[in-house]
Structure 1
């Protein structure tokens, strides 16, 4: 029976590297590949007219779909389960990783901690994951 590999994708270069690595691992092992992105509604969103038309879930789904298709190509992307989850990215990944064989994240994504060796999401995932984690670093 094939396993399941969950990968965090936020459109950042580290998440692109993680997606490539996870796709190769899924191909090698015959596992299902699940690409996940988490989104949170910005606290300030209700305060401006522009925010009234801002749909963070749709924006996150578009980033996920676009990234998966650009990185893997349309044919391979069609085989990837894509999940856009409301909530903190780390918690979204941890929840989706339940029962998976592996969770894959990039070393850093779109967080404010650019000077960190690991980003806040990858660090949290490594510390709390119910399954093995692979953190994909730079080239």
Structure 2
């Protein structure tokens, strides 16, 4: 595991270079190498940014120039990190999914929130996040092309059902420990129209004093139990803030993303299926979160 690199998909755009910055910081935290990959079926790069930096006509910029510029960016950001580059003659989504087989994580930039941008994210970011064999981090938020590490001081985890999402919990806990920040575990619950209210049992109230003396819905209690179960094996020295929120899971996590340095969600894959793999929650936060999003594959 120590030798596995953090892979960044680069395409010469500022958002992808911002992803290089973020991944370089992550590699430094983990003592991991950094691998910068440009995957494309085209021999030439058609964007203007690299040409401007190199002072050459656009038609003279090639794939090695793209990864070379990204490498220089990483070296300026974190000179202590070992960096390698590669050019893959393949569609980006397929090349990066293959890269994920031997990666610690894959990091991708996001171009913004316009309709065109969401289409681009859907064709690459969502495909990679839905099929990668390792966690995929998509750089949402801070769309000024500047990577900022640790500005909000917390990692947010979207908690799945009881005994689900163990890989996402481990990843989120590790991120929080590496950064020295608390882990906020969020579980949403909804109140069915026919639900009845009641009081939580005394032994449960001891762990959740905020529910003492107030009517509590069964679904809220189940959500709190799911959070408690998910956090059962996190390191004892990690500061943890469990939280339940009434409402839709996507809305709860999007709200929490405004106060997070990283939002972590799990994704359970369907074996042998190459269609859309992400659930509605993961798909929604990838498109709309206010901070970077990590999608962690869960075993089937």
CA deviations on 1:65-116 (whole Å, 9 max, x unpaired) are: 12211x326x357x2100100010011111112121110000149xxxxx84
**TM-score scaled by length of structure 1:** 0.78
Show the counterpart of 2:185.
Answer: 35
Cross-structure match for 1:122: 282
Bigger relative contact order (CA 8 A; separation at least 6): 1
Match of 1:9 in 2: 159
Q: Tell me the CA shift for residue 29 of structure 1.
A: 1.2
Aligned: 1:23 with 2:200: no
Find the aligned partners of 2:197 and 2:154 in 1 and give their Cα distance. Answer: 37
2:220 counterpart residue number = 57
Moved more, 79-88 or 14-23: 14-23
Alpha-carbon deviation of 1:11?
2.8
Unaligned runs of 5+ in 1: 110-114
1:131 aligned residue (280, 286, 291): 291
* Segments of 4+ moved more than 4 angstroms: 51-54
Q: Render the CA deviation track for 1:5-62: whole Å, top value 9, x for unaligned.
A: 101012356522111101011111112110100011124x34xxxx555521111101
Provide the residue aligned with 1:88 in structure 2.
248
Where in structure 2 are there 5+ consecutive unaligned residues? 1-149, 199-216, 270-274
Q: Is the 8 A contact 1:8 1:37 kept in 2?
A: yes
Question: How many Å separate the matches in 1 of 2:165 and 2:280?
Answer: 13
Q: Aligned-residue CA RMSD in angstroms?
A: 2.5
**In structure 2, how many angstroms separate the alpha carbons of the residues matched to 1:130 and 1:82?**
21
Q: Is residue 108–residue 122 contact of structure 1 (8 Å, CA) maintained in 2?
A: no
Higher Rg:
2
Partner Cα separation in structure 1 for residue 246 and residue 169 of structure 2: 20
Q: What is the total number of aligned residue pairs between the two structures?
A: 126
